[in-house]
């Protein structure tokens, strides 16, 4: 015989709840037909646990119940948190035959204090703390070891109902523990549930910047409500390009131009904060840079007011009407730049356009000088790569050409088709302009993208 009693459990699970008594009951059955058995119960950590009966006598073929409790004395160090450990604490069940059938507590203590063949080791029962408070403690642990968490979580999670699992999933999403989130979902947490404030696990994961949980929730079937789930806005405001990429890959139907209560798109927020990489990504995925919000502001207005120069340049290149959009206060982006004294942006926002128009107008030298005096870039390029000198040369405006050159215009600048101002002047038959350009260093042997040399240029050189 290797044991005298048999427990009804192989493991003790203590449902832990703060402010409540934490205990578990188990039973021991005497396997002896004719003799009583003395029983001793001890734990690997006696300071944590109390037994209702650390010593007992069980009559032949009888069963007795025992209760293990977590200590809540003032000196107990784990009164508010479950004492999680790996390996687990355990209960040692020892027994000894008791021919007399009776014994006092002190007699039993003395009996089990003497090791020897009369003492049987009947069972070792691991002690696990279970329930939602335990899972929450694992989620909130400052630096949990993943293997240890998985081991403890697998036991604690089985004692949670669906409502508790779902609440814990939101907690895990906020903390960013993707492994715990996966375990909770597998156990039955509802990925699409929202709390009384309308918050879902996904919204919490996005706002907390937890890419791992975001990916887990997408793979687990989170269904976006496009009118409510403004995840693009949250990620754009935080400059989280990685989350934006995950969302766009996970949801092919995501609305890149969804608006919040102020009528703003995610692109508005990114432009306002100057998150250039996010601005580029949103536009590449279909965000419209010409959309205006409830105040009539396009993303360009916000980028301009906050002096995010690179964002302004990018938005100008990819918008059609944003430069000319007027807010409800009657302001263009250029007006905002003037209000904020952003002189370095005058040229790209308006003066460049004015300079191009002046260069085209018949020798409007004063307008050209005025634009340059206000800060216009003499070599600014339009959407086709034309500079003011290209326009003046093509139109044959000789006086404008001279003023532009005197103010630093590059005579050999090429447009998007590879033409220099000299090519355009010769092609349009403006020989006086061509000679002026040559006199100021224009190279006659530059090749365009369409021809090695404009034929007229060759004639001119002869």
Rounded-to-10 torsion of CA 364, 370, 373, 377: -60
| 88 contacts 45 by C-beta, under 8 angstroms | no
Output the DSSP codes for 269-280: HHHHHT-HHHHH
* The CATH number, out of the four listed (3.40.50.300, 3.40.640.10, 1.25.40.20, 1.10.10.60), of the domain defined by the range 347-461: 1.25.40.20
Using pLDDT thresholds of 50, 70 and 90, give the confidence band for residue 411: very high
Using DSSP's 3-state secondary structure scheme, residue 56 falls into: strand
179-188, 425-434, 444-453: segment of lowest average pLDDT:
444-453
List all residues 6 or more positions away from 143 whose beta carbon is below 8 Å from its beta carbon: none
Does 312 or 143 have the greater pLDDT score? 312
Dihedral pair phi/psi, residue 15, rounded to 5°: -65, 115
Identical topology for domains 5-130 and 347-461: no
pLDDT at 77: 44
Check whether the bond before 87 is cis (ω within 30° of 0): yes
Does 438 or 373 have the greater pLDDT score? 438
How do the domains of the chain map onto residue ranges?
5-130, 144-223, 347-461
pLDDT at 218: 97
pLDDT at 78: 45
Is a pLDDT exceeding 50 seen at residue 457?
A: no
Average pLDDT of the chain, as a whole number: 88
Using pLDDT thresholds of 50, 70 and 90, give the confidence band for residue 351: low
Output the DSSP codes for 93-126: EEEEEETTS---HHHHHHHHTS-STT-EEEEEEE
pLDDT at 453: 53
Is a pLDDT exceeding 90 seen at residue 257?
A: yes
pLDDT at 76: 45
pLDDT at 121: 93
CATH 2.30.42.10 fits 5-130, yes or no: no
pLDDT at 337: 81
pLDDT at 99: 87
pLDDT at 364: 79
Structure-token pair, residue 313: 């340049």
DSSP letter assigned to residue 226: T
H or E, element range at 68: strand 63-70
Dihedral pair phi/psi, residue 399, rounded to 5°: -70, -35
List all residues 6 or more positions away from 89 whose beta carbon is below 8 Å from its beta carbon: 43, 44, 45, 48, 49, 83, 126, 127
Buried b (16+ CB within 10 A) or exposed e, 52-68: eebbbbbeeeeebebeb
Instruction: State mean pLDDT over 337-364.
Output: 73
Using DSSP's 3-state secondary structure scheme, residue 213 falls into: helix
Instruction: State mean pLDDT over 257-284.
Output: 97
Buried b (16+ CB within 10 A) or exposed e, 237-274: bbbbbebbebbbeebeebbbebbeeeebbbbbbbbbbb
pLDDT digits (tens, 9 = 90+) for 4-41: 999 999 999 999 987 788 899 999 999 999 999 999 99
Selection from 393, 391, 346 nearest residue 371 by Cα: 346
Structure-token pair, residue 234: 């949250």
pLDDT digits (tens, 9 = 90+) for 115-149: 888 899 999 999 999 999 999 988 887 665 667 77
Instruction: State mean pLDDT over 102-127.
Output: 91
Computed on alpha carbons and rounded to an integer, the radius of gyration of the chain in Å comes to: 40
| 229 contacts 203 by C-beta, under 8 angstroms | yes
Structure-token pair, residue 44: 């690997």
Rounded distance, CA 106 to CA 101, Å? 15
pLDDT at 461: 47
pLDDT at 332: 86
Rounded distance, CA 87 to CA 441, Å? 84
pLDDT at 450: 55
Instruction: State mean pLDDT over 243-254.
Output: 95
pLDDT at 38: 95
Dihedral pair phi/psi, residue 330, rounded to 5°: 80, 25
Using DSSP's 3-state secondary structure scheme, residue 177 falls into: coil
DSSP letter assigned to residue 253: T
DSSP letter assigned to residue 223: P
Sole residue written with tokens 């995501």: 254
List all residues 6 or more positions away from 350 whose beta carbon is below 8 Å from its beta carbon: 323, 332, 334
- Provide the residue count of the chain: 462
pTM: 0.71
pLDDT at 350: 63
Which CATH architecture best describes the domain 144-223? Alpha Horseshoe (1.25)
Using pLDDT thresholds of 50, 70 and 90, give the confidence band for residue 449: low
| 310 contacts 276 by C-beta, under 8 angstroms | yes
48-57, 146-155, 374-383, 389-398: segment of lowest average pLDDT:
374-383
């Amino acid at each position: 015989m290797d044991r005298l009693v048999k427990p009804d459990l192989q493991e003790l699970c203590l449902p832990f709840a703060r402010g409540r008594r934490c205990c578990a009951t188990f039973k021991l059955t005497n396997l002896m037909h004719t003799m009583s058995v003395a029983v001793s119960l001890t734990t690997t950590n006696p300071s944590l646990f109390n037994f209702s009966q650390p010593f007992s006598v069980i009559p032949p073929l009888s069963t007795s119940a025992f209760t293990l409790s977590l200590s809540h004395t003032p000196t107990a160090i784990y009164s508010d948190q479950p004492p999680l450990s790996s390996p687990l604490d355990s209960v040692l069940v020892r027994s000894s035959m008791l021919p007399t059938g009776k014994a006092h507590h002190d007699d039993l203590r003395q009996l089990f204090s003497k090791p020897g063949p009369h003492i049987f080791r009947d069972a070792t029962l691991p002690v696990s703390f279970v329930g939602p408070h335990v899972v929450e403690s694992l989620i909130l642990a400052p630096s949990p070891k993943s293997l240890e968490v998985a081991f403890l979580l697998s036991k604690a999670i089985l004692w949670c109902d669906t409502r508790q699992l779902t609440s814990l999933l939101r907690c895990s999403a906020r903390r960013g523990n993707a492994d715990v989130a996966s375990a909770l979902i597998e156990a039955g947490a509802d990925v699409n549930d929202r709390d009384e404030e309308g918050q879902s696990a996904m919204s919490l994961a996005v706002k907390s910047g937890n890419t791992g949980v975001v990916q887990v929730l997408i793979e687990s079937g989170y269904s976006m409500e496009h009118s409510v789930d403004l995840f693009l806005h949250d990620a754009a405001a935080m400059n989280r390009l990685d989350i934006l990429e995950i969302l766009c890959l996970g949801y092919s139907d995501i609305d890149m131009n969804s608006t919040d209560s102020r009528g703003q798109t995610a692109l508005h927020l990114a432009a306002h904060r100057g998150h250039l990489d996010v601005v580029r990504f949103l536009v590449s995925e279909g965000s419209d840079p010409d959309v205006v919000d409830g105040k009539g502001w396009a993303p360009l207005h916000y980028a301009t007011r906050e002096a995010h120069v690179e964002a302004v340049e990018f938005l100008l290149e990819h918008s059609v009407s944003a430069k000319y959009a007027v807010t409800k206060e009657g302001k263009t982006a250029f007006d905002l730049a003037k209000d904020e004294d952003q002189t370095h942006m005058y040229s790209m926002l308006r003066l460049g356009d004015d300079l191009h128009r002046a260069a085209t107008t018949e020798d409007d030298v004063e307008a050209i000088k005025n634009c340059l005096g206000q800060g216009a870039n003499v070599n600014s390029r339009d959407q086709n790569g034309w500079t003011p000198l290209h326009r003046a040369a093509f139109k044959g405006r000789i006086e404008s050409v001279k003023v532009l050159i005197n103010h630093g215009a590059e005579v050999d600048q090429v447009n998007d088709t590879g033409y220099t101002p000299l090519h355009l002047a010769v092609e349009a038959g403006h020989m006086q302009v061509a000679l002026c350009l040559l006199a100021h260093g224009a190279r006659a042997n530059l090749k365009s993208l369409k021809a090695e040399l404009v034929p007229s240029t060759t004639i001119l050189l002869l």
